[in-house]
Structure 1
Amino acid sequence: MFPITVKKLRSRSLIGLPHAGAYQQMSETYAKLFDELEAHGLSDKTRQMVAIFYDDPAKTDAAALRSFAAVTAPKTVACAAPLQRINLPTGRHAVLRFTGDYAGLPAAYAYLYGAWLAQSGEQPSGQPSYEVYITSPRSHPPEEWVTEICLPLK
């Protein structure tokens, strides 16, 4: 069982790069993102890492999965190609807080979308879920990684 709270999250302005393929390989896209941010002088203007997931890996072939590797950034920060800006809207979310190596995330998703959603009385909004990385994998060991899985609700 994982801790889940339902709360209203504020909008977030993101700058990032699209990723195609297995979600476990997003680290390659994040490496490209950090290189681009550095090249554009934006590294010190960005904040938390966020990943948006558009497809259900249980229903979509790994090669066809779509996601977005991003960092939060003020709306005033300019975004030049190949970087893209996405704004996540304000709204109600189920937020599951997970601590540990990312290899454990599939079990957290299974609980959130399975047992918890079935008994909660809540319904997904149809918007993609996303992860907010509270601790950076660049500066913490895997057992200290904290990730919030955010499921937009109706």
Structure 2
Amino acid sequence: MAMFPVHIRETSPRRLAALRHTGSFEEIGATFGQICQILEERSLLSQAGCMIGVYWDNPLLAPPGALHSHAGIDLPEAMEIAPPLEELRLSGGRHAVLQYTGPYSGLARAYRYFFSQWLPEAREIQAEGPLIEIYRNAAMETPSDQLVTEICVPLL
């Protein structure tokens, strides 16, 4: 099984402008598109930070139609978040961070490595809370083989 770099770090709290997504995690891209369009219409997109996916459910335990997630964008504290966007605060804390480079279609392999190999070998325990994907570059302007995604898993 392919290996991916994983390190443990303390993550900072984040404030996101977010939209709820229900359904397959692979289909969250359209929800990210809606957020970008709303922020662009409000002339706020240029002040936004990274796009962040917040995944609340385990896709191995829930059917795709019952999966809940949020598509979010990091925003400065002073920026207003008005409907239909909602404010979502992530508490931060100790996380294992796997860095994956490549097309989003390969993320499942990175998750398999993390949960079946890295986590048991590292003797770490996943804590309660969502898994977070931080998209370090934008799919619209980056070749798919150069996309960088950080998968952040909360740890005890």
Q: TM-score, normalised by structure 2?
A: 0.95
> Could you tell me how far apart the structure 2 residues matched to 1:76 and 1:125 are?
30
The letter for the 2-side match of 1:23 is F
Deviations 1:95-115 (A, max 9, x none): 000000011101111111221
> Could you tell me how far apart the structure 1 residues matched to 2:43 and 2:78 are?
14
Matched, 1:105 2:102: no
2:87 corresponds to which residue?
85
Question: CA offset at residue 43 of structure 1?
Answer: 1.0
The letter for the 2-side match of 1:62 is P
1:47 corresponds to which residue?
49
> Could you tell me how far apart the structure 2 residues matched to 1:42 and 1:19 are?
22
Query: Which of 129, 132, 137 is matched with 2:131 structurally?
Result: 129
Question: CA offset at residue 52 of structure 1?
Answer: 0.4
- SS state of the match for residue 116, structure 1? helix
Query: Which of 53, 60, 63 is matched with 1:61 structurally?
Result: 63
> Could you tell me how far apart the structure 1 residues matched to 2:126 and 2:87 are?
24
1:74 corresponds to which residue?
76
Matched, 1:19 2:21: yes
> Could you tell me how far apart the structure 1 residues matched to 2:79 and 2:127 are?
29
The letter for the 1-side match of 2:73 is V
> Could you tell me how far apart the structure 2 residues matched to 1:129 and 1:15 are?
17
The letter for the 2-side match of 1:123 is I
Q: TM-score, normalised by structure 1?
A: 0.96
1:28 corresponds to which residue?
30
Alignment RMSD, CA only?
A: 1.0
- SS state of the match for residue 98, structure 1? strand
Contiguous gaps of at least 5 residues in structure 1: none
Question: CA offset at residue 90 of structure 1?
Answer: 2.5
Give aligned pairs, total.
154
Percentage identity across paired residues of the two chains: 34
Contiguous gaps of at least 5 residues in structure 2: none
> Could you tell me how far apart the structure 1 residues matched to 2:13 and 2:116 are?
26
Deviations 1:16-47 (A, max 9, x none): 10101111111111111111112223212211
